[in-house]
């Protein structure tokens, strides 16, 4: 179970995972050793799954962000597994969700340009034997960055 100090610690780490135990100690009014132990426990218990750097896509030359809805023509465990393997081989697909509703999957993609998005759709996704059709939407502006989870 999480107590209020755990949730405050998680919130602080979501804002800045580089905070040292001493900085967290000052911020949360707890000793650095207690912060360290809590952090280790939260990691061991799976509340903290890892630490990553958030990169700027535009600075990396990825000027097109999009969402692609994928509709399968055939369903079944083997088709889903095959499609999941395809997702792992395409670095432009940064996240994917299995969905309820009209589309079977929703993919978030980052591409260098519209040509690269077109290539991803026509040369990677549509040739997959289970894919019946795709529907893409290009992000014009991101109004809210991927934020921290509510704690």
The enclosing domain of 77 has a CATH number of: 3.30.70.920
Q: Give the pairing of strands 64-72 and 93-98.
A: unpaired
Q: Report yes or no on 74 lying in a domain.
A: yes
- Measured CA to CA, the distance from residue 145 to residue 131 in angstroms comes to 30
Please write the tens of the pLDDT for every residue from 27-52.
999 999 999 999 999 999 999 999 99
73 and 36 together in one domain: no
Residue 131, domain member (yes or no): yes
Per-residue pLDDT tens over the stretch 55-95: 999 999 999 999 999 999 988 888 899 999 999 999 999 99
Is 19 domain-assigned? yes
Question: Could you tell me if residue 89 is inside a domain?
Answer: yes
The reply to whether 69 falls in a domain is yes
Domain that holds residue 63: 58-138
Number of domains in the chain: 2
Return the pLDDT at 151: 85
63 with 108, same domain: the answer is yes
3-state DSSP assignment of residue 121: helix
Average pLDDT, the chain: 95
Same domain (yes/no): 63, 134:
yes
Residue 24 has pLDDT above 90, yes or no: yes
Distances 1 to 21, 37, 71 between C-alpha atoms, Å: 21, 15, 40
Give the pLDDT confidence score for residue 74 in this predicted structure. 86
């Amino acid at each position: 179970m999480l107590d209020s100090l755990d949730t405050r610690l998680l919130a602080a780490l979501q804002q800045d995972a580089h905070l040292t135990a001493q900085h967290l100690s000052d911020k949360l009014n707890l000793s650095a050793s207690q912060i360290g132990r809590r952090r280790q426990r939260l990691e061991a218990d799976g509340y903290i799954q890892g630490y990553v750097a958030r990169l700027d896509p535009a600075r990396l030359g990825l000027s097109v962000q999009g969402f692609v809805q994928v509709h399968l023509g055939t369903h079944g465990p083997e088709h889903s597994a095959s499609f999941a393997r395809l997702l792992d081989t395409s670095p432009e697909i940064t996240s994917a969700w299995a969905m309820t509703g009209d589309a079977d999957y929703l993919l978030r993609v980052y591409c260098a340009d519209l040509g690269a998005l077109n290539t991803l759709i026509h040369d990677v996704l549509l040739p997959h034997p289970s894919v019946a059709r795709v529907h893409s939407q290009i992000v014009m502006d991101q109004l809210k960055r991927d934020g921290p989870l509510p704690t």
